[in-house]
């Protein structure tokens, strides 16, 4: 495991319960993000393959939302404390520890992958490998929904996230990475800043041909 992954895991382990208390119901006040998750779930159902991985699931609230939207959803997270919380909060669902570049899922098995602000701590040079792994587990026609902090500049921007350092991305650069991984972008949504840092909330929905 890379040093930055160990730091990220330890940082989220320390704040798991506080994070869950702050963010478990966050989408109730985020209508744009909620709409994108709902659209993603509808399209995944339309593939006929409802199996969906919530990658970087945190406390499991979005895994549960995907389940409620009719998907066979399960979650993975790097943080053991987050996985433990998710299992306690949602005992009927399946959660496990995993690194995003080594998902314990067979090739071409899933109708959907959700990465909700879970790629933000990955250094830019390592992001193509993570996207390639998410493509590996998607069946043809499967969908990926990625949410992240967007920036207007030409390059990714490293910033001091409240938990551990993170990166914001120009949306055009990010969609180019998705194209390089073999995905076709179907929708992009940018909306007002998520915080006083001034970054946009960015959601990109892409499909594997």
Asked if CATH classification 3.40.50.150 holds for the domain at 3-21+48-207, the reply, yes or no, is yes
C-alpha distance across the termini of the chain, in Å: 31
Q: Which residues pair with 145 in a beta bridge?
A: 114, 205
pLDDT at 192: 80
Give the SS3 label for residue 206. Answer: strand
Residues 164-191: tens digit of each pLDDT: 889 999 999 999 999 999 999 999 999 8
| pLDDT one-digit tens code per residue, 98-139 | 999 999 999 999 999 999 999 999 999 999 999 999 999 999
* Residue in 66, 55, 58, 74 with CA at minimum distance from that of residue 19: 58
- DSSP state for residue 78 in the 8-state scheme: S
Q: How far apart (Å, rounded) are the C-alpha atoms in residues 202 and 130?
A: 18
Strands (E), 122-183: 138-150, 157-159, 166-168
Q: Domain coordinates of the chain in residue numbers?
A: 3-21+48-207
Task: Check residue 196 and give its pLDDT.
Answer: 62
Tokens standing for 172? 């055009």
The pLDDT of residue 15 is: 86
- Cβ count within 10 A of residue 123: 12
């Amino acid at each position: 495991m890379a040093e930055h992954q160990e730091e990220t895991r330890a940082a989220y382990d320390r704040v798991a319960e506080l994070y869950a208390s702050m963010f478990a119901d966050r989408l109730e006040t985020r209508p744009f993000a909620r709409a994108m998750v709902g659209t993603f779930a509808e399209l995944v159902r339309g593939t006929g393959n409802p199996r969906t991985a919530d990658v970087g699931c945190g406390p499991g609230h979005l895994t549960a939302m995907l389940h409620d939207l009719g998907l066979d959803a399960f979650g993975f997270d790097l943080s053991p404390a987050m996985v433990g919380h998710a299992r306690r909060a949602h005992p009927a669902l399946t959660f496990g520890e995993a690194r995003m570049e080594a998902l314990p899922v067979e090739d071409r098995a899933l109708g959907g992958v959700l990465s909700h602000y879970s790629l933000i701590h990955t250094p830019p040079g390592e992001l193509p490998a993570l996207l390639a792994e998410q493509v590996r587990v998607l069946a043809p026609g499967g969908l990926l929904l990625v949410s992240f902090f967007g920036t207007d500049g030409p390059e990714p921007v490293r910033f001091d996230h409240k938990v551990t350092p993170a990166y914001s991305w120009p949306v055009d650069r990010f969609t180019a990475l998705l194209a390089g991984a073999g995905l076709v972008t179907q929708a992009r949504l940018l909306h007002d800043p998520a915080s006083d840092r001034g970054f946009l909330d960015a959601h990109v929905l892409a499909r594997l041909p």
